[in-house]
Amino acid sequence: MSNLFVCAMGIGTVFVGLIALVFICMLLSTVCKKLVKNTSAPSQAPARSPLMAASGEIENKGEIVAACCAAIAEELGEDVKNIKVVAFKKA
């Protein structure tokens, strides 16, 4: 057997296997879609975030600022006492 024949058979086997996997995935996808009953999403307004108050202000802004400062201090390798927050706005 020549080296070219062995390489062609190996590459051919790999691609045939990959194509078979694609078809198996497609088949399983259609089977799962038929088994799972698709319920239509209710047309409700998205729920408000628990962090937001009725007026749109953040309820626990101090805790969020403290958590952000702790994460920044950890990333920079600094002490939290060395971080000064000048402004903290909702984007």
pLDDT in tens, 20-64: 999 999 999 999 988 886 655 555 665 655 555 556 666 788 888
Q: How far is CA 15 from CA 11, 29, 36, 55, 89, in A?
A: 6, 21, 31, 59, 53
Vertex 22 angle, CA 17 and 9, to 5°: 20
Q: Which residues pair with 52 in a beta bridge?
A: 58
The DSSP code for 36 is S
End-to-end CA distance of the chain: 67
Structure token pair of residue 32: 């799962």
> Which tens digit of pLDDT belongs to each residue from 12-32?
999 999 999 999 999 999 999
Measured between alpha carbons, how far is 25 from 17 in angstroms, rounded to an integer? 12
Q: Say what the pTM is.
A: 0.39
